[in-house]
Structure 1
């Protein structure tokens, strides 16, 4: 029940943010077009999504805000992650898990975020997989075990320790 309610809430927040982003995107596009010039020409000439988004964000601050909100409520976003962590903590505690299990399951999304920041999210060369069940990190696309350098592991440990 708790999980379903928070999932619905999160999906609603994400949908609201996405709708706001789409509404302001049109306004940003119209403003950029009305201003014309170099930035409009760059927008029309590039096929790069990130460049187009940056031009729109610079043209209309409301679009940047709406885009940031959509990202924060999207998959892996800060608000979405925090809501999931709270939901996990509540359901795990009510489900009879031990304190250590509650803490480790609650902090798992943050551990994944920190590991992703250290090694990159979705890079073709290296994909980090973290399993809550086995607490193992390190696979590549070919399935070979990725040898994690001790310095990086230490940095991850320090960052995780600061989260706790």
Structure 2
């Protein structure tokens, strides 16, 4: 934000654009990157101790501490992974658009929460899946696309996303009450 003084950065090199805008065997590179990230995330969550630690800390931090989970290291690792994935997402977006603007991706964290909630992740932590989150993102994208095609204003699209999160929270609360 300091370098461009809040103005868009235009003229992204063609090599950078082709990396994210190109395709391999007819499959867009961005889709391939998302598939690789999803596979790595699944392997991390299901096949490594860190995956168990992440779910444990997300589910009940005190119980995880008592069980010997390194809470601080787990949280810092989660934040680092989040930052790396946010950087990758922004590079994909910049490569596809051919420009960078400081406000690109504004409020996308709301979409991320909604996609995870639609995919069955508990907003209270400790429960969720990579495939569920991907399906949630596809459903949310289809909803957004449909609302855009129906000329629904962006404000109301954000409102719909917020309502989805509220409904997911209520469903999570009811189902956790039974379990």
TM-score bracket for this pair, using the shorter chain length: 0.3 to 0.5
Tell me: higher relative CO, structure 1 or 2? Use CA pairs within 8 A at least 6 residues apart.
2
User: TM-score w.r.t. structure 2 length?
Assistant: 0.30
User: TM-score w.r.t. structure 1 length?
Assistant: 0.32
